[in-house]
Amino acid sequence: MSAVTTTTDSDRPRPSSSEGTGPGEAGPERSGPAVVALRGAVATVGGRPVLRGVDLTVRPGEVVALLGANGSGKSTTVKSVIGSVPLDRGDLELFGRPHRRFRDWHRIGYVPQRTTAAAGVPATVREVVSTGRLPQHGLLPFRRKDRAAVDRALTSVGMLDRAGDGVAHLSGGQHQRVLIARALVGVPDLLIMDEPMAGVDVDSQQVLADILRSEVERGCAVLLVLHELGPLEPLIDRAVVLRDGCVAHDGPPPRNVGQHALPGHDHVHPHADDHHRTPQGLLA
């Protein structure tokens, strides 16, 4: 992750919730340049073409769901946005700046797909969430406001009482909450989540829906990779459905998104597009 000189959380303008509008409606928080503007994206993974000309736009304050079958290119698309999968062809702008000149990675919060918060390293819940503040202060010691931000993020996901616990002892849903808190602790303007509801219990899914509602109210844009909308459906402004690395639909969320929308489907199988090359962006 790139360490850059940034403004503080309090310096960053935020629209009030009173300025907001309902899903799909334009409002003051949706003015200005697109948060994500991906045009004609072509990418290969392991020598296999995955993206074949994907266009994706996410506007300020908008909630966009990426849908599609396994191997359709959903994860590769979001990894292209954060810079961990380079484009063979196409253009990418983040917050109105070309990707090659974009340095404000603190403005993006990312929750990866089906990983644990510990990643094999002994750490407490608080320590893992604290790493999300690194772009704000670089190598400087943690400040009072950093600690306060960690407490707020943990409170928002209902994990403040577990702050001192080792992440190795958490359930799958609790791991997911910790990763979400790590993404939220920097107060991002764009929140990207890759299958945040996969393998977590109903309570954790509802916590996620409540979190996203609060983030949208303050003007954050959200890009979600999903197989089913579930409790998030009322929050979705637009759905982009991928098929074989191409956009098959861009508009209102379709009523039927295939077998993954059926009750009782447990999405635990691996993704064909989950591997990537050397990261050069948010994960660098």
Domain extents for the chain?
Answer: 58-79+104-261
| Burial (0-12, 13-18, 19+ Cβ within 10 Å), 169 | exposed
Amino acid at 37: A
pLDDT for 24-60, tens place per residue? Answer: 444 434 667 899 999 999 999 989 999 999 999 999 9
Residue 281 has pLDDT above 80, yes or no: no
* Spatial contact of 45 and 78, defined as CB atoms under 8 Å apart: no
Q: For residues 233-256, b (16+ Cβ closer than 10 Å) or e, as one string?
A: eebbbbbbbbeebebebeeebeee
Question: Angle, nearest 10°, between helix axes 144-156 and 172-184?
Answer: 140
Question: Angle, nearest 10°, between helix axes 202-217 and 172-184?
Answer: 10
* Spatial contact of 110 and 189, defined as CB atoms under 8 Å apart: no
**In 3D, which of 87, 41, 76 has the Cα closest to residue 276?**
76
Q: Tell me what the pLDDT averaged over the chain comes to.
A: 80
pLDDT for 128-168, tens place per residue? Answer: 999 998 877 666 777 888 899 999 999 999 999 999 999 98
User: Domain spanning 58-79+104-261: which superfamily?
Assistant: P-loop containing nucleotide triphosphate hydrolases (3.40.50.300)
**In 3D, which of 76, 194, 171 has the Cα closest to residue 118?**
171
3-state class of 137 per DSSP?
Answer: helix
Residue 268 has pLDDT above 80, yes or no: no
